[in-house]
């Protein structure tokens, strides 16, 4: 009993200490900012690690809130990252720029801050020198710190050029000056190809917030939840852009394996407990038992997809929990898909007839028998006169049958938000392909994929040996959320590899931009943010692995021209670029015909 009381007393004292630190940091921010309504969530752990760093972060955040617009800066960072910027160097540059802009005004008003900054910088040099020295942004920070502690000195050209931009921010007239500086440094010294691939500052700033939300959550969350998630994200950015500590330093204690990094969105425990229910409500019930689902997750969700999950479903229209808003929206989209089919019925039938005929010809070539002269087989009486008179010993005829081995096809379609504007066209083209394959009795499966929270949804429209009528289910194709291509391809190929047919073909429709907004779940080991080169390389490895296992893999690219390089990196020479989704079925027909004939 005494031991329990003792432990309880320790917990109470610890909580009192935490509350004391929080109050101290909050009061400091409020005093400096002059805004006592400012919503502040102090980083107590940072204070425990080094109180001077934490105190300087607090006064700097308060000063930045007083002289500049923190939300405006955080929105820029959000948009820049959405457009493809690498998070770590972007945040490092943003921290440098906010410090360079806020400190001069802060020290003029509160000279005592100079001493706090000095001790904070000394602590950074002592603990982080080697780590900072390993990156360009880190070397800039080291030089910036030394200039403050020992007086300004010239450095190597690139570092000095960035420092000159930072010192110019001492006269920043507003938040846009800081944003321009961050953007210029990133585009020139971190990723010189960013503007060419993703657009300039105007393009970044013109990105609609609705687009960002829509790609990740809007289709699947109600308005209040979307607003709450975005508020959490902006609050998180507001805190992190003002801190001296690097992302890597904060993560180091929590890393459980190489590759883990910070995630984008933080959800509370209440939201986590509802995840399974949300998946059922928004995508339909899982078609697997819980035990089957767990086995597949353990086997497939590894490597870059550790701690992710798969959700196998026939869709919300096929297996709904209840008739909710998502069901109604999916039904409306399915009706639009069918309306396009009925309005284009003659064209669709003609395309199906053409594709069916070409596949039949190719199959006939594979199965027809050729008769050839041979040194054995059935004797040809008309050639017997050659015996003893010529050296031609081919007196027989032999029948050679062409390869009649089986074929099976998987069609995997990107069903993420990036396909939103062409949903009906994608559904129509997939239907043409599926009906043509049904007409020639080639077993095939059609699936779509997207990623929501940590679930990659694998929606089945048609199973391999389903009757022809099942082709109609493709019209329930609808899009939402993000896309974790590597995991989706792995999951689709898992069943394909187990088929008995000799020739296994996987056809993937994508936009060449694997992109998944990771959700940070409490007590989980989140994978890295899945976008950019990291996601492209993972998807490319998955494609190479499947080809090495004997599968034929074709990538059909329906994205923007600027993403062609990524698509080539993923699929190599076996990919087709279609500027118009209406050519999808024709391209697939040519590819299948070529495989059948050869």
Q: How far is CA 501 from CA 405, 434, 436, 550, in A?
A: 7, 18, 19, 12
Which stretch of DSSP H or E encloses residue 282? helix 275-283
For residues 494 and 546, give the distance between their C-alpha atoms in angstroms, rounded to a whole number.
Answer: 10
- In 3D space, the residue among 432, 410, 425 whose CA is nearest the CA of residue 353 turns out to be 432
Q: How far is CA 190 from CA 130, 136, 195, 245, 291, in A?
A: 20, 8, 12, 20, 46
State if pTM tops 0.75: no
Check residue 31 and give its pLDDT: 54
Close Cβ partners of 563 (under 8 Å, ≥ 6 residues apart)? 511, 512, 513, 557
For residues 548 and 521, give the distance between their C-alpha atoms in angstroms, rounded to a whole number.
Answer: 35
pLDDT band at 566 (very low <50, low <70, confident <90, very high): confident
323 vs 259, higher pLDDT: 323
Check residue 391 and give its pLDDT: 67
pLDDT band at 458 (very low <50, low <70, confident <90, very high): very high
For residues 376 and 378, give the distance between their C-alpha atoms in angstroms, rounded to a whole number.
Answer: 7
Assess whether pLDDT exceeds 90 at residue 184: yes
For residues 65 and 28, give the distance between their C-alpha atoms in angstroms, rounded to a whole number.
Answer: 13
Check residue 49 and give its pLDDT: 55
- Classified as helix, coil or strand, 316 is coil
Task: Please tell me the total number of residues recorded for the chain in this structure.
Answer: 598
Assess whether pLDDT exceeds 80 at residue 375: no
In three state form, how does the secondary structure of 405-463 look? Answer: CCEEEEEEEECCHHHHHHHHHHHHHHHHHHHHHHHCCCCEEEEEEEEECCEEEEEEEEC
Domain spanning 270-354+405-597: CATH superfamily: von Willebrand factor, type A domain (3.40.50.410)
Check residue 220 and give its pLDDT: 38
Which stretch of DSSP H or E encloses residue 396? strand 396-401
Residue pair 324/337 in contact (Cβ under 8 Å)? The answer is no
Assess whether pLDDT exceeds 50 at residue 297: yes
Lowest mean pLDDT among 56-60, 463-467, 581-585: 56-60
Q: CB atoms < 10 A from the CB of 403, how many?
A: 11
Mean pLDDT taken over the chain: 78
Domain boundaries, the chain: 22-207, 270-354+405-597
Give the up-direction half-sphere exposure of residue 576: CA atoms within 13 A in the CB hemisphere: 19
Pairing of strands 552-557, 503-510: parallel
Share of residues in the chain with pLDDT > 90 (%): 29
Question: Residue 154: which region, alpha, beta or left (left: phi > 0; alpha: psi -120 to 50)?
Answer: beta
Check residue 526 and give its pLDDT: 55
Q: In sequence order, what are the beta bridge partners of 515?
A: 483
Mean pLDDT of 373-397: 69
CA 367 to chain CA centroid, nearest Å? 44
Check residue 392 and give its pLDDT: 67
Q: Which long-range contacts (CB under 8 A, 24 or more apart) does 394-398 make?
A: 397/371, 397/372, 397/373, 398/371, 398/372, 398/373, 398/374
Mean pLDDT of 153-164: 90
106 vs 28, higher pLDDT: 106
Close Cβ partners of 129 (under 8 Å, ≥ 6 residues apart)? 142
Assess whether pLDDT exceeds 50 at residue 209: yes
The token duo for 141 is 């920070």
Residue pair 302/542 in contact (Cβ under 8 Å)? The answer is no
Number of H helices, E strands in the chain: 24, 12
Share of residues in the chain with pLDDT > 70 (%): 73
Assess whether pLDDT exceeds 50 at residue 264: no
pLDDT digit string (tens) for 67-94?
888 788 888 888 888 788 887 788 889 8
Assess whether pLDDT exceeds 60 at residue 435: yes
531 vs 408, higher pLDDT: 408
For residues 547 and 556, give the distance between their C-alpha atoms in angstroms, rounded to a whole number.
Answer: 16
Check residue 235 and give its pLDDT: 55
pLDDT digit string (tens) for 471-522?
999 999 999 888 899 999 999 999 999 999 989 999 998 887 888 765 555 5
């Amino acid at each position: 009993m005494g031991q329990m009381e003792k432990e309880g007393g320790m917990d109470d004292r610890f909580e009192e200490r935490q509350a004391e630190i929080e109050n101290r940091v909050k009061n400091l921010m409020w005093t400096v900012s002059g805004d006592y309504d400012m919503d502040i969530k102090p980083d107590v752990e940072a204070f425990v690690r080094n109180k001077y760093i934490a105190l300087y972060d607090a006064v700097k955040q308060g000063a930045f809130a007083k002289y500049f617009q923190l939300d405006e800066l955080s929105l820029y960072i959000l948009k820049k990252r959405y457009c493809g910027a690498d998070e770590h160097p972007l945040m490092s540059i943003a921290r440098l720029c906010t410090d360079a802009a806020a400190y001069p005004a802060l020290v003029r008003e509160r000279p005592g801050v100079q001493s706090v900054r000095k001790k904070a910088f000394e602590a950074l040099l002592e603990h982080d020198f080697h780590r900072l020295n390993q990156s360009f942004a880190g070397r800039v920070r080291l030089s910036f710190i030394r200039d403050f502690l020992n007086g300004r000195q010239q450095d190597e050209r690139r570092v000095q050029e960035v420092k000159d931009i930072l010192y110019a921010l001492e006269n920043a007239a507003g938040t846009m000056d800081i944003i321009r500086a961050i953007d210029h440094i990133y585009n020139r010294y971190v990723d010189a190809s960013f503007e060419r691939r993703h657009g300039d500052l105007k393009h970044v700033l013109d990105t609609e917030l609705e687009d960002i939300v829509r790609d990740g959550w809007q289709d699947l969350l109600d308005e209040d939840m979307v607003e709450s998630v975005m508020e959490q994200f902006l609050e998180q950015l507001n805190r992190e852009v003002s801190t001296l500590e690097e992302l890597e330093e904060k993560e180091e204690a929590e890393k459980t394996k190489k590759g883990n990094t910070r995630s984008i969105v933080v959800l509370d425990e209440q939201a986590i407990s509802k995840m399974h229910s949300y998946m059922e409500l928004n995508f339909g019930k899982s078609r697997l038992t819980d035990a089957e689902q767990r086995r597949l997750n353990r086997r497939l969700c590894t490597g870059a997809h550790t701690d992710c999950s798969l959700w196998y479903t026939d869709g919300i229209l096929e297996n709904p929990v209840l008739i909710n808003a998502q069901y109604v929206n999916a039904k409306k989209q399915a009706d639009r898909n069918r309306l396009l089919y009925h309005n284009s019925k003659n064209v669709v039938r003609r395309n199906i007839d053409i594709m069916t005929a070409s596949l039949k010809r190719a199959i006939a070539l594979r199965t027809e028998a050729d008769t050839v002269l041979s040194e054995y087989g059935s004797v040809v009486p008309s050639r017997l006169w050659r015996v003893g008179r010529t050296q031609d010993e081919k007196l027989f005829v032999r029948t050679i049958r062409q390869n009649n081995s089986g074929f099976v096809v998987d069609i995997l379609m990107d069903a993420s938000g990036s396909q939103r504007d062409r949903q009906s066209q994608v559904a129509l083209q997939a239907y043409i392909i599926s009906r043509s394959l049904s007409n020639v009795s080639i077993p095939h499966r059609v699936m779509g994929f997207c990623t929501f929270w940590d679930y990659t949804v694998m929606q089945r429209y048609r199973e391999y040996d389903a009757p022809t009528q099942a082709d109609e289910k493709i019209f329930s194709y609808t899009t939402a959320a993000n896309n974790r291509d590597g995991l989706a391809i792995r999951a689709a190929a898992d069943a394909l590899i187990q088929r008995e047919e000799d020739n296994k073909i996987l056809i993937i429709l994508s936009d060449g931009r694997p992109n998944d907004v990771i959700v940070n779940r409490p007590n989980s080991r989140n994978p890295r943010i899945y976008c950019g080169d990291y996601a492209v390389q993972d998807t490319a490895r998955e494609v190479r692995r499947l080809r090495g296992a004997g599968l034929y893999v074709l990538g059909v690219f329906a994205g923007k021209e600027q993403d062609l390089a990524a698509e080539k990196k993923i699929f190599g020479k076996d990919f087709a670029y279609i500027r118009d989704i209406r050519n999808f079925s024709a391209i697939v027909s040519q590819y299948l015909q070529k495989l059948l004939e050869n």
